[in-house]
Structure 1
Amino acid sequence: MTYSTITNDILSGTTSGNPGRPKVLIAGAGLAGLTLGMILQKSDIPYEIFESAPAIRPVGAAMVFGPTLAPMFKQCGIYDEFVALGKKNKSINVLNSKGGKEYSVDFSDEKDMFGEDGYILTRPVIYDLIYRQIPKDRIHLGKKILSANQDSHCVTIKCSDGLEYKGDILVGGDGAYSVVRKNMYSNVQKEGNLPASDSLPLPFRTFCLLGQTRKLHITEFPDLAKDPCQFYSTLGDDNPYAASTTQFTPAGGVGATNAMHDAVVLANWIHALPNNASAKEISQAFQAYQSERMPWVQAAFAHSRAFQVTNSKGYLGKMIRFGVKHMPTWMQRKTAISMNINRPQVGFLDQADDTGSVRPAPQINKLNIDMRYNFSVGVRGTGHKNGPSHL
Structure 2
Amino acid sequence: MTAQEHEREREAQTTPTVLIVGAGLGGLMLAMLLERIDVSYLILERASELRSLGSAMTMGASILPVFEQLGLLEEINKISLPVDKADFYNSRIEKIGCICGNNRKTTGYSNHLFSRPKLHQILLKHVQPHKIQLNKKVVRIEEVSNKVYIHCADNSTFQGDIVVGADGAYSSVRKSLFAQMKLKDILPRKDEDSLEIGYSSLVGVTSPQDPEIFPQLKDPFSHFSQVIGDDTRSWGLASMADNEVSWLLSYQVTPSESKARMQQGRGTGWSMSTDSESNNVDMMIKEFRDLPSPWGGTMGDFFDKTPKNQITKVFLEEKMFTTWYHGRTVLLGDACHKMLPSGGQGAVNAMQDAVVLANCIYYMKGRDLEDFTAAFKEYHRQRYPCAKAQYIRSHNIAKYMSGQSWSERIIRYVIFNWVPSWVHANGYAQSVEYRPQIAWLPLVENRGTWPVKPQDEPQQLLTVEYADDAKARSA
Shift of 1:205: 4.9
> Which residue in the other structure is 2:383 paired with?
293
Of residues 362, 373, 392 in structure 2, which corresponds to 1:283? 373
> Which residue in the other structure is 2:49 paired with?
55
- What amino acid is the match of 2:21? A
Comparing both chains, which one has the higher relative contact order based on Cα–Cα distances under 8 Å and sequence gaps of 6 or more? 1
After superposition, the C-alpha distances for 1:284-319 in whole angstroms (9 at most, x for unaligned) are: 111111111111111101111111221312331222
Q: Which sits farther off after the overlay, 166-175 or 54-63?
A: 54-63
Of residues 429, 432, 438 in structure 2, which corresponds to 1:346? 438
Shift of 1:35: 0.8
Of residues 218, 237, 246 in structure 1, which corresponds to 2:317? 246
Counterparts of 1:58 and 1:201, CA distance in 2: 25
> Which residue in the other structure is 1:267 paired with?
358
Please state if 1:88 is matched with 2:82: yes
After superposition, the C-alpha distances for 1:196-238 in whole angstroms (9 at most, x for unaligned) are: 3322333325432334434422121110111211111111122
Unaligned runs of 5+ in 1: 1-15, 366-370, 378-385, 387-391
- What amino acid is the match of 1:376? T
Shift of 1:194: 1.4
Call closer, same or farther: CA 1:105–1:329 in 2, change over 3 Å.
Answer: closer
> Which residue in the other structure is 1:197 paired with?
190
Higher-Rg structure is 2
Greater fraction of residues in strand = 2
Call closer, same or farther: CA 1:246–1:17 in 2, change over 3 Å.
Answer: farther
**Is the contact between residue 65 and residue 118 of structure 1 (CA under 8 Å) also seen in structure 2?**
yes
Of residues 214, 218, 231 in structure 1, which corresponds to 2:224? 231
Q: Which sits farther off after the overlay, 327-336 or 145-154?
A: 327-336
Q: Which sits farther off after the overlay, 232-241 or 168-177?
A: 232-241
Counterparts of 1:312 and 1:197, CA distance in 2: 26
% identical equivalent positions? 29
After TM superposition, the score normalised by the length of structure 2 is 0.71
**Is the contact between residue 26 and residue 171 of structure 1 (CA under 8 Å) also seen in structure 2?**
yes
> Which residue in the other structure is 1:105 paired with?
99
Call closer, same or farther: CA 1:85–1:212 in 2, change over 3 Å.
Answer: closer
Of residues 154, 177, 180 in structure 1, which corresponds to 2:170? 177
**Is the contact between residue 95 and residue 101 of structure 1 (CA under 8 Å) also seen in structure 2?**
yes
- What amino acid is the match of 1:84? K
Greater fraction of residues in helix = 2
Counterparts of 2:70 and 2:30, CA distance in 1: 11
Cα RMSD for the two superposed structures: 2.1
After TM superposition, the score normalised by the length of structure 1 is 0.85
Call closer, same or farther: CA 1:263–1:209 in 2, change over 3 Å.
Answer: same
Counterparts of 2:13 and 2:60, CA distance in 1: 38
**Is the contact between residue 71 and residue 354 of structure 1 (CA under 8 Å) also seen in structure 2?**
no
